[in-house]
Structure 1
Amino acid sequence: MLDEAGASEQQATGESPQRSRVGLLIDVTGDHFTARLDSVKDSDAPASHQRSLGQVGSYFLVREGDANILVMVERSYRIADKQGRAAHMVHLTPLGEMGSKGDFSRGVSRYPISGAELHRMDEDGLRAIFSGYGDKDFKVGNLTSFESIGVHLDASAFFGRHAAILGQSGAGKSWTVTSLVQAAVRAMPNAHIILLDMHGEYGDKDVDGVVAHSPFPADKVRCFRADQLEFPYWLLAFSELCELVVNSGDEHASIQISFLRSTMIRLREEANKHLDLGHITVDSPLYYSMDDLIKAVKEANRETSDFGKKKSALYGKFDQVLVRLNSLLNDNRYDFLMRPKTRTSTESLPGLMQDLVGLGSPRASVTVLDLSSVPFDVVPLVAAQIGRLTYEFNYWNPRCREFPLFLICEEAHEYIPREDIPRFREARRSMERISKNGRKYGVGLCVVSQRPHDVSETVLAQCSSYVCLRISNPDDQDYVRAMVPDAARGTFAALTSLSKGEAVALGEAVPMPVRFRVDLPDPPPNSTDINYSEKWRTDATVDVARLVHNWHKQER
């Protein structure tokens, strides 16, 4: 048995046990171990290896009998022993077990006892772990401690069980998203990724001669502005329409909602008689005329009887609704929603759904939806609509398991907040629905945020994989640590010391919590940092008249 254990350890570490021992365990608990490293004089390891032993983030192997447990250094410190000599101590987090063939499995089924030997884990052993996990062609970066070892993600776990990419502004979130999507398209050319672009970082642009291209392959991406794809009012769920036109603080809100419910059902039925659809509900994705809706509301608002001598129960109850509707219709920024040019019938819905998921002409693996010009007050409503349409696509698709979708929500804190705020309620409900039920129908979700503390706790709790870049805000740090397993919290102590483009990944997409450097995207997104030092040393002019013209035309 001891011979077999020694052989398995030699395979895992790449050298004989006598040469790899570096210390002994002196304390074992359910979530961490403490070990004392051998002195240079007593250690069996070469002196050249002793200098870097015990670095935070490095790996060791705990050997006891035929059990080999992979651990990571969470803390390194020195104390004085009874003879007054300095003793090098390490605090270790158990990650999983190494099998007899060098294979790695998460969790610890059999804990060691104090006195178990601690052995070095060399580069070849780690390479075997990371190369044997996940998809070999879905590489996203390299280990920080061993730059020659690539980090590969399990694509099914990352895309199918929801993910979160978190980090403060300037930490490299946009570059990480771009790198991950580029790697996904290279490895899986028939992917179906929908990306909500809140700042115009991922799409094609050509404004006043300033040209910017999408960072994704031209034959694999389609980019839409909101006014190009159009998300028409008649596709809004009833609750979303009420959020748009009804003031919940209005004393007549309940009357307004009841009237709108019955009126919209009638208008949908009248406008779609030729389709012979049978039962129609207030939420059916069917066209109706906005002009007819406004006409019905106006008539109800001035309804009288007895030749105008008596006012009806609805008289004067819709003043605020009419003001809100007219203000939306008279502002051309809302035309993509209130005055669609192409989505003007129920028959236009299949075309919208095809474009949304990349089945339009030409077909695409990545659909970038540029929402940067959408007025901020309706961004949550548009995000709710996109989330709902993405979910409904596969909910009603009998072959949903053969056509999985992945929705990336950039700047998620702007429309999926942690607090229950009325203006964001529909967007939050839509994304939480995907996070809780989307996996069953092949709809994955990725939330990207610089303020994880402000993102819906329900959404983050459903994520099985996390990619965390530098986070300095104490509230955000505490919030993220509370969302991850106890065994991985020690890894998150490094969040404040991560350099730009460096990340900590954990969850089902990686074999163990890992600190790595994200592969640089090629080409990068349109979000590189501005070099103030360089720009302020050169003379530059701005065509202010043209700038104001773009503002008026809502072009950027």
Structure 2
Amino acid sequence: MMIGYIVAASTPFEFIATLDPEKPISLYDYVAVDHVEYDPSRGELINVRLLGQIVKLYRDPYSAKRDLPLYNVIRDVSNNILEVQIAKVKVLGYVEGGELRQPKHPPRIGTSVYLAEREDVEELFKVEHGLCVGRLTSRDLEICLDLNGIKRHLAIIAATGSGKTWFSVVLIEELLKKGAKIVVIDPHGEYVPIRDSIYRLGPYTAKVIKVSEHHVGDLMYKIGVLDSDPEAIANAAGVPPGAKKIRYAIYLAWSYAKKVRKAAGRPVGLSFLRKVLYTAMRGETALNKLFQQYKVEGDFPMTDLKHLASRDRHAVFSALTYLKRLQRLGVFAPRSTPLSKMLGDITIINLAGVNEEVQDYVVSHLVNRIFQARVRHVRSLKGFQLPWPVVLFVEEAHRFAPPKTLRKTKSYEALSRVASEGRKFGVYLVIISQRPSKVDPDIISQCQSQVIMRIINPKDQEAVRESSELLAQEFLENLPGLDVGEAIILGPIVKLPVVIRVRDRVLEYGGSDIYLATTWKVDKTADASRLWRRYFNSAPSPSLILSAARLKILRKIREGGRVGVKLLEDNREVDVWFENGVPVCSACGVGKPCHHVYKALEEVVEVR
């Protein structure tokens, strides 16, 4: 279908076209023009079909004068005014021998512009083993990303509420289908519901590793005290940077503990460090008795610890207090949690419930272990090896890898190493952030592929422009105008920059906004939790409550002396009855603590 003509500024890279104002042409749609190009291999001119994408679209009144007509003029002649539709078209190239080639000559002024055929557009984005994440915004055409593009790292950037977590979950689904092993760094527990909905996608294993005892998880992440360094332990404990003597006391206790482990051949944890400091508080005689229990070579750090305990008991007492506070978190232990127990098809590291210093340390510790395990496998070194590549998703990356000039984090070093060396050893990074201006530019620039959704903040727009060599000014100008769920994708993960609408997801996540009108109208969770405890003698888990919230109530039912609720889960109906004080679920069985029962309890206030 012919839609217009080339009228100005024709170069091998772009041209200006006037389009038929009556035809519904959309921004980012694809056009084609007939073009003559010289083929040096043949030594002759050839006819090609040149493809382009509309990157700017606007309408103007046709007027010979520079000034626009005044209001009273428009009022009188509005039905007779001539309108022109102008499009700026970025030249993509022409397909020759299965490859996209760039023209060396500009198309002629006056050449007809056509809407590109569906087959031509499909050919532009055709990939094998694709990650099918959405469809073109301008056409009903599925877009699949190049799986191998993940090896060059990926950044997902968007303002809050624009759909970045949604896209991340869709990408996770596609990677799982291809057999990928995924680790998600999750600061708020938003990805935890994936575990309970993974069955919808297929027979995949999903594990949640928690850092706080009070949050959802299948396994607690433990860090071996002596696998770290004393400065990191002091930071995690919250010791102020300027408290040199307190930090020194922790360092001395840690150094002695390391010597004891080497001499005794057994692991030691925070309890032992506290024991050393507590003994030092009791005086030199008690400390000497402790030292005599272990055959430790060398006088250091025993002498220094004696001197510090005699000169500054307050520093030792404060160090003891900080370590006691740190021990309550339950993160540090004599041994680190084995990676072999943690990793499934997808492993979600639930960092909710601990402070930023502990989160930073856990991320640093985990990322370094994963990286070293891959290095051992590739180089056939001794120690635990990971036999398959890992895709590492880092949500809220600005927490862990801020610019070095802003603040220093321990996890920055680990993530920076993965960004620069990970592709050689099969550790691939997916950075997710709503504030790209607060992510270290060296790390974000290593992410050669980018998924950019709506961004309004000018500083963040500038950060995106500086980090991406492929983002044209026209795309940058249009970032605030993207709808929720729309994204610009560019880099090795696609053949050409493309604007898509993200497809529906299968897996659940907990990052959606709260609907205040519903939330404030009535709160049934208190009564439901009270009744739940009556039946199961325990509190319902957050993941169970989230799963229950996604069920739909069809109707309440009463039959004889029984009270029940009919629910809708996906496309199946589930009945929950309360008989003789026992819940009966048609899907899960009698007396089972399932999310169907919890949802029914929210509706049945009084059970008889």
Instruction: Answer whether contact 1:294 1:322 (CA < 8 A) is retained.
Output: no
Aligned to 1:23: 5
Q: Any idea what the Cα deviations from partners look like across 1:262-293, whole Å, max 9, x if unmatched?
A: 535423422438xxxxxxxxxxxxx4343333
The CA distance in 2 between the partners of 1:271 and 1:224, in whole Å, is 31
Change in CA separation of 1:382 and 1:118 when aligned onto 2, cut-off 3 Å: farther
Aligned partner of 2:95 among 84, 99, 116:
99
Q: Secondary structure at the match of 2:409?
A: helix
Supply the distance in 2 between the matched residues of 1:318 and 1:493 (Cα, whole angstroms): 62
- How many angstroms does 1:242 deviate by? 4.7
Amino acid at match of 1:73: I
Q: Distance in 1 between matches of 2:436 and 2:56?
A: 26
Q: Corresponding residue for 2:87?
A: 90
Which residue number corresponds to residue 423 of structure 2? 439
- Alignment partner of 1:34 out of 12, 15, 18: 15
Q: Structure 1 residues 334, 39: closer, same or farther in 2, change over 3 A?
A: closer
Given residue 441 of structure 2, which amino acid in structure 1 is its aligned partner? E
Instruction: Compute the displacement of 1:476 (Å).
Output: 1.5
- Percent identity reads 21
What's 1:243 paired with? 235
- 1:163 paired with 2:163, answer no
Please say if residues 270 and 323 of structure 2, whose CA atoms lie closer than 8 Å, have aligned partners that are also in contact. Answer: no
Q: 1:192, CA displacement in angstroms?
A: 0.7
8 A Cα contact 1:25 1:113, kept in partner: no
CA-to-aligned-CA distance 1:396-416 (integer Å, 9 cap, x gap):
223689611111111222222
- Write the distance in 2 (CA, Å) between the matches of 1:256 and 1:111: 73
SS of residue paired to 2:526:
coil
Q: TM-score, normalised by structure 1?
A: 0.74
> Would you say the 8 A contact 2:351–2:359 is kept in 1?
yes
Q: Secondary structure at the match of 1:112?
A: coil
Q: In the alignment, which residue of structure 2 is the partner of 1:468?
A: 452
Q: How far has the Cα of 1:250 moved from its partner?
A: 2.6
Farther off after superposition, 113-122 or 224-233 = 113-122
Contact kept in structure 2, 1:162 and 1:444, CA below 8 Å:
yes
Q: Which residue of 2 aligns with 1:368?
A: 348
Matching residue of 1:280: none
Match of 1:459 in 2: 443
Given the alignment of the two structures, is residue 196 of structure 1 paired with residue 185 of structure 2, yes or no?
Answer: yes
Asked if structure 1 preserves the Cα contact closer than 8 Å seen for 2:163 and 2:484, the reply is yes
Alpha-carbon distance in 1 for matches of 2:110, 2:83 = 21
> Residues 112-161 of structure 1, C-alpha deviation per residue, up to 9 Å, x if partnerless?
2664846432222101222x23524x2111001011x1110111212x21
SS class of match (1:447): strand
Per the alignment, residue 207 of structure 2 pairs with: 222
Aligned-partner SS, 1:99: strand
- 1:52 equivalent in structure 2: 24
CA RMSD of superposed structures (Å): 3.9
CA change 1:180–1:110 in 2 (3 A) is: same
Amino acid at match of 1:263: Y
SS at match of 2:478: helix
SS, match of residue 431 in structure 1: helix
Task: Tell me the residue number matched to 1:135.
Answer: 129
Aligned to 1:110: 104
Equivalent residue, structure 1, for 2:169: 178
1:512 to 450, 472, 496: 496
Question: Is the Cα–Cα contact under 8 Å of residues 249 and 308 in structure 2 kept in the other structure?
Answer: no
Distance 1:409 1:487, change over 3 A: closer
CA distance in 1, matches of 2:404, 2:97: 49
Query: Which runs of structure 2 are paired with 1:489-508 in the superposition (5 Å)?
Result: 489-508=473-492
Cα gap change, 1:139 to 1:266, in 2 (>3 Å): same
Match of 1:353 among 316, 320, 339: 339
AA in 1 matched with 2:228: L
Q: How does 1:281-430 map to 2 (within 5 A)?
A: 287-297=267-277, 312=307, 315-316=310-311, 319-320=314-315, 323-330=318-325, 334-335=329-330, 337-338=331-332, 340=333, 344-345=334-335, 352-356=338-342, 358=343, 364-398=344-378, 403-420=388-405, 424-430=408-414
| 3-state SS, counterpart of residue 495 of structure 2 | coil
Shift of 1:73: 1.8
* TM superposition shift of 1:37: 2.8
Specify the code of the residue in structure 2 equivalent to 1:192: K
SS of match in other structure, 1:291: helix
Distance in structure 2 (CA, Å) of the matches to 1:469 and 1:371: 26
| Range with greater deviation from structure 2 (473-482 or 55-64) | 55-64
CA offsets per residue over residues 21-55 of structure 1, 9 Å max, x none? 8423632568x523233669xxxxxxxxx6134x4
Q: CA shift at 1:438, angstroms?
A: 0.9
- Is the 2:182–2:346 contact (alpha carbons within 8 Å) kept by the matching residues of 1? yes
> 2:30 is matched by which residue type in structure 1?
Y
With a CA cutoff of 8 Å and minimum separation of 6, indicate the structure with the bigger relative contact order: 1
Give the 3 Å change call, closer, same or farther, for CA 379–320 of structure 1 in structure 2.
Answer: farther
**Which deviates more, 219-228 or 138-147?**
219-228
CA-to-aligned-CA distance 1:42-69 (integer Å, 9 cap, x gap): xxxxxxxx6134x421223352324655
Say which SS state the counterpart of residue 93 (structure 2) adopts. strand
Aligned to 1:490, the other structure's residue is in SS state helix
Give, in whole Å, the separation in 2 of the partners of 1:38 and 1:499. Answer: 25
Give TM-score scaled by structure 2 length: 0.68
Residues in 2 aligned to 1:371 and 1:466: alpha-carbon distance in whole angstroms: 25
- Structure 2 segments unaligned to the other structure (5+ residues): 38-45, 67-81, 214-218, 289-303, 534-538, 543-608
Determine helix, strand or coil for the equivalent of 1:127: helix
8 A contact 2:437–2:460 mirrored in 1:
yes
> What is the aligned residue count?
479
Whether 1:150 aligns to 2:142 is yes
Find the aligned partners of 1:408 and 1:448 in 2 and give their Cα distance.
7
SS at match of 2:367: helix
| Higher CA-based Rg | 2
